A and B are shown apart, each in its own frame.
Chain A
Amino acid sequence: MAASGVVLTPLQRFFAQRQAKVGVALTATIVALALIGPLLLPWATGYTATEFADQPFRLTGPFGTDNLGRDVLSRFLSGGLTLITLALLATAVGIIVGMIFGTVAAYTGGTVDSILMRANDVLLAIPQLVFALLAVTVLGPQGWVLVMVLGLTHAPRVARVTRSAALNVINEDYIAAAEMYAVPRWRIIVREILPNITGPLTVEAGLRLTYSIGGIASLSFLGLGLQPPAPDWGLMINENRIALAVQPWGVMLPVLVIALLTIGTNLIADSIARTFASTKVSEA
């Protein structure tokens, strides 16, 4: 009933929320830092100046050096890119695999649905981090292993969300119409179902990204991610925690950005969820 000028596009409704603006600003800043950081290094990341070891606010960068005499700022600026890339890839793997299983289970129904979902429950019962530790220990601490392991542990969670979203769509008559015209089943999934569950999937993707960042950082902290001397935020926390009292920056900087980044992505995910929720209200 409202005039077309009054109706906001989903994007406008998204940015109408303050938390969305904050989330986007936080995420964008940190991603920019991680992307541009490696180009602005004051010192090479592997540069060691033993005489300055454990000396905050001296000569090198404004944040001093770590216990090996490496410049903290340099390592900090170049340590984010791998974390963010791996987190994005892990999220993508989780979403794609989960989405496929979720829609297939919902659309096929019956025994297939039961088997897939019970298998899903079993996978959900395995703690994410324990599974990751096991896999990395067996396969070695490589980037693709981290991505696959985290992605696959996300997949059952994504599958569950996708399935419940798809179940609502499957009862719509346009699915029955497509059935009636004997449209191939994969095409019904791709054309009729998936476009109508992008809302919940986007929300889930945001949430999974948040968990991926945390997950990759945790694995790096445990020494199962990138190996020294490569610069990495998670690894930095571990390397510098022994000197936390005398040289806090080596720990503080990576902790701060990881926290802000997860807060940012989480705010975005939440704002997307609210955007779709308000769409539903206005259509009702």
Chain B
Amino acid sequence: MTPQKTTPRRGAKTRTGSGAPMVEGSAWHTRVAADAPVLEVEDLEISTTAAPTQVIVSGVDLSLRPSEILALVGESGSGKTTVALAVLGHFREGLHRTAGSVTLHASTLVDPVEMTALDREVRRGLRGSRVAYIPQDPASSLNPSMRVGEQIREVLDIHAYGDDDAARAERVRDVLREVGLPDDDAYQRRWPHQLSGGQQQRIGIAMAFAMHPDVLVLDEPTTGLDVTTQALVLDTVRDLTIKHRVAALYITHDLAVVNEIADRVMVMQRGEVVEVGPVEQVLHDPQHPYSRTLIAAVPDLAGRNKIWEFEQRRRAGEFDPAEADDEPAESTANEPGTGGKEARVEVNEPARTTEAAHDDGVTLSIEDLRVAYGSNKVLKGIDLELQPAQTTLLLGESGSGKTTMARSIAGLNANWTGTIRHRGEALERSTRRRAAQQRKAIQYVFQSPYSSLNPRRTLEQSLSVPLEMTGEMTARQRRERVGDALDAVRLGREFARRRPGDLSGGERQRAAIARALVNMPEVLVCDEITSALDVSVQASIIDLLVRLREERGMTMLFVTHNIALARHIASRVAVLQQGVIVDEGTTEEILTNPTADYTKELLENAPDL
């Protein structure tokens, strides 16, 4: 059997696998009319092929009806992508189906088909036409050496859409309009690199919708996008699934996105489904303890969610009750913005910051900071002061210059002009020129924990480097200090001998934070350190940072694109837009009474539960 030629509109005359015309009143039409599921997954079990066999996913049941969006949520490693790929009849190398079935009721076929047991050719005919896939990263999924119009056209050519070239050309224009992009030839002749991330993702969506698929699998399609762009992309997906009666399986770890787009949610944990239900019910009244903690880990604008609870619950089994008991109480009192308890925090603040109190005035002051790459001005005169023992949230979308600013403070790029003062003393531009004491005082944590630790060295070796460079300690003292730092980030000193490869993303980031802590810094610059991590891991990292700031009276600059984190970690917020700070003040001021339009826009677009 070869891929069948299909005509575009549902209900229209469609050729089936056996060649019989598919018209109104046919078996297929009746089924869809009754909103029978187009996709059914029953008791799916997926295991590794190599011995010893390990079950990766087990007992997954799901069914999708036309126009319905089912969100599949879970942490990394929970098996959500494995399930989604199984819907396409695909298994990553080393995995195979050991039980259950994935049944597709394709609109072009009379009989339902078992996706995982199909002939290769038939399955290929169904992929991209009946079951479409939208990958996570549009930049790497589009062919950089092919014009965007051609890439959409290619899908139609492969699946032999329509009767002639004109029909296909018309469909390319249609689908471009549907995803909200210009349909003219000039636009179609653009290369992927000439489009923004959001536009690239919409090209990906156009490719997926081109063949009028029955089922759509979306693998975190908005992860790399700004909130504003994300909102647009989500709207597009939502509209198109309803308009074309497409059933969608939406994989994400972002529960706010789920709330925005999905009808039902399925929560997965360690390869098993722990809860399924309508969005309203699962997000607002979760039944399973895991869903409850997962939802509690989501940062919210109001700061009501006790996101540290996730960490408590996760650790509850591993730690003695006394410790587990006193932690929540302590954190509640100290959370900077727990439910608008700013006043209480203010009262607590002096007591906790005695260590830094001898230093009256600002810890770090930035005056007229400018950075330009050629004619491209990244930072256009930044003025900002970091108050002792306070966390300032530096908020900005990608391209706003927030990372450049953080790196300039840490001395990682030396091409800035202006003045950065640490305790009144102007800092040299490059870290190598700064005094050892200044290097010790200002520490920086990188965004990606997958790149910030040398894979060939043990944590002890990597974490000792900052201490070796100050040259103040013996090898034994260094080992002791590294162990203390690993304890402080709750990894435990037994991690000292391990290498990054054995660690999860969250563990790596903790180790990276530990490296920044070994020198007992005054200022900690955290550059998007939770953006690569799961929401639950983010929650525990945020919890950790809040605690560390309290214990050590550290001044923190927390760089992020996620405004929802503000009340959970910061007492002040600075909003950066295209190299300019457009809004600055206490968290409360900024969130309740923003002055800049941009901040208002960010607040409006922030997805919330």
Q: Which residues of B are found within 8 Å of A174, using beta-carbon distances?
A: 451-454, 462
> How many residue pairs, one in A and one in B, have C-beta atoms under 8 Å apart?
65
Whole-angstrom distance between the alpha carbons of A62 and B411 in the complex? 74
Chain B proximity mask over A1-24: 1 for CB below 8 Å, otherwise 0: 111011000000000000000000
Q: Are A1 and B457 in contact (CB under 8 A)?
A: no
Contacts of A195 in B (CB 8 A): 454, 456-457
> B52 and A6: CB pair below 8 A?
yes
- Assess whether A182 is in contact with B439, with CB atoms less than 8 Å apart: yes
| Nearest B residue (CB) for A6 | B50
Contact A2 B50 (CB under 8 A): yes
A122 interfacial by beta-carbon distance below 8 Å: no
Report the bound CA distance from A5 to B54 in whole Å: 10
CB distance B466 to A6 under 8 Å? no
Contacts of A172 in B (CB 8 A): 451-452
Q: Could you tell me the dominant secondary structure of chain A's interface residues?
A: helix
Contact in complex: B439, A181 (CB < 8 Å): yes
Taking CB atoms, residues of chain A closer than 8 Å to B23 are: none
Interface residues of A in 184-234 (CB under 8 A from B): 191-192, 195-196
CA distance A231 to B51 in the complex (A): 53
Q: Is the CB of B50 within 8 A of A181?
A: no
**Closest Cβ neighbor of A178 among chain B residues:** B465
Task: Specify the chain A residue showing the minimal Cβ separation from B456.
Answer: A195
> B residues within 8 A CB of A180?
410-412, 431, 439, 444
Q: Does B432 contact A (CB under 8 A)?
A: yes
A195 to B500, CA, bound (A): 14
- The reply to whether A1 and B56 contact each other, CB–CB distance below 8 Å, is yes
Task: Kindly report which residue of chain B lies nearest to residue A8, judged by CB atoms.
Answer: B50
Across the interface, which residues of A come within 8 angstroms of B456, CB to CB? 195-196
B505 CB to nearest chain A CB (Å): 13
Whether A191 and B50, one on each chain, are in contact in the complex, defined by CB atoms closer than 8 angstroms, is no
Smallest distance from the beta carbon of A190 to chain B beta carbons, Å? 12
> Which residues of B sit under 8 angstroms from A182, Cβ to Cβ?
431-432, 436, 439, 469
Residues of chain B within 8 A (CB-CB) of A252 are none
As a 0/1 sequence over residues 46 to 79 of chain B, the CB contacts with chain A under 8 angstroms (1 = contact) are: 0010111010100000000000000000000100
Report if A121 contacts B (CB, 8 A): no
- Nearest-neighbour CB distance to chain B for A158, whole angstroms, equals 20
In the bound complex, how far is the Cα of B515 from the Cα of A183, in angstroms? 14
Interface set, chain A 253-282, CB cutoff 8 A to B: none
Q: A176: CB under 8 A from chain B?
A: yes
**Which residues on B sit within 8 Å (CB–CB) of A51?**
none
Q: Whole-angstrom distance between the alpha carbons of A17 and B48 in the complex?
A: 21
Are B446 and A177 closer than 8 Å at their CB atoms? Answer: yes
Residue of A5, A176, A180 contacting most chain B CB atoms (<10 Å): A180
C-beta contact mask, A165-177 vs B, less than 8 Å → 1, else 0? Answer: 0000000111011
B424 adjacent to chain A (CB < 8 Å): no
Known: A180-B412, A182-B432, A182-B469. A173 touches B52 (CB 8 A): no
* Contact in complex: B455, A196 (CB < 8 Å): yes
CB distance from B440 to the nearest CB of A (A): 9
- Measured in the bound complex, the distance between the Cα atoms of B457 and A176 in whole Å is 15
Contacts of B439 in A (CB 8 A): 180-182
State A174–B511 Cα separation when bound (angstroms): 12
Check B321 for interface membership: any CB of A closer than 8 A.
Answer: no
B48 close to A6 (CB less than 8 A): yes
B448 interface contact, C-beta 8 A = yes
Map CB proximity to A onto B305-338 as digits: 1 under 8 Å, 0 otherwise.
0000000000000000000000000000000000
| A173 adjacent to B77 (CB under 8 Å) | no
Pairwise interchain contact B452-A173, C-beta atoms closer than 8 A: yes
Bound Cα distance from A195 to B432, whole angstroms: 23
**B94, CB-defined interface residue at 8 Å:** yes
With A and B bound together, what is the CA distance between A174 and B444 in angstroms?
Answer: 12
| Cross-chain contact B432 with A179 (CB below 8 angstroms) | yes
Residues of A within 8 A of B444 (CB): 180
Closest CB-CB distance, A139 to chain B, in whole Å? 40
CB distance from A234 to the nearest CB of B (A): 40
C-alpha spacing A176/B54, complex, angstroms: 39
| B451–A3 CB distance below 8 A | no
Report B419-470 residues with CB < 8 Å from chain A CB. 431-432, 436, 439, 444, 446-448, 451-457, 462, 465-466, 469
Residues on A with beta carbons closer than 8 Å to the beta carbon of B454: 174, 191-192, 195-196
Contact check, A176 vs B412: say whether CB atoms are below 8 A apart. yes
Q: Are A2 and B412 in contact (CB under 8 A)?
A: no
Q: What separation, in Å, do the CA atoms of A182 and B435 have in the docked complex?
A: 10
**Cβ–Cβ contact A173 & B432, under 8 A:** no
Contact among A5, A177, A192 for B515, CB-based, below 8 A:
A177
CA distance A238 to B530 in the complex (A): 69
Select from chain A the residue with minimum beta-carbon distance to B434.
Answer: A182
A6: which B residues are within 8 A, CB to CB? 48, 50-52, 54, 94
Collect the chain A residues with CB atoms within 8 Å of residue B94's CB.
2, 6
Complex Cα gap A179–B48 (Å): 42
In Å, the complex CA distance between A179 and B466 comes to 10
A183 CB contacts on chain B under 8 angstroms = 465, 469
Which B211-256 residues have C-beta < 8 A from chain A?
none
Per the bound structure, the CA–CA distance linking A174 and B450 in Å amounts to 9
Cα(A26)–Cα(B431), bound, Å: 53
In the complex, which residue of chain A has the Cβ closest to the Cβ of B446? Answer: A173
Docked pose: A5 CA to B52 CA in angstroms: 7
In the bound complex, what is the Cα–Cα distance between A261 and B595 (angstroms)? 76
Chain A residue numbers with a CB within 8 Å of B51 are: 6
- Once the chains are docked, how many angstroms separate the CA of A20 from the CA of B20? 55
Task: Choose from A5, A179, A192 the contact partner of B412 (Cβ within 8 Å).
Answer: A179
Please give the distance in Å from B544's CB to the nearest CB on chain A: 19
List the A side residues contacting B436 at CB < 8 Å.
Answer: 182
Closest 5 pairs between A and B when the two form their complex, measured CB to CB: A195-B456, A173-B452, A173-B451, A173-B446, A174-B454
Question: Can you list 30 pairs linking A and B with CB atoms under 8 Å apart?
Answer: A3-B54, A6-B50, A6-B52, A6-B54, A6-B94, A172-B452, A173-B448, A173-B451, A174-B452, A174-B453, A174-B454, A176-B446, A177-B446, A177-B515, A179-B431, A179-B432, A180-B410, A180-B412, A181-B431, A182-B431, A182-B432, A182-B436, A182-B439, A183-B469, A191-B454, A191-B457, A195-B454, A195-B456, A196-B454, A196-B456
Given contacts A173-B447, A180-B431, 12 further A-B contacts (CB under 8 A): A2-B48, A3-B54, A6-B50, A172-B451, A172-B452, A174-B451, A178-B465, A180-B444, A181-B469, A192-B454, A195-B456, A196-B456
Interface residues in chain B, defined as those with a beta carbon under 8 Å from any beta carbon in chain A: 48, 50-52, 54, 56, 77, 94, 410-412, 431-432, 436, 439, 444, 446-448, 451-457, 462, 465-466, 469, 515
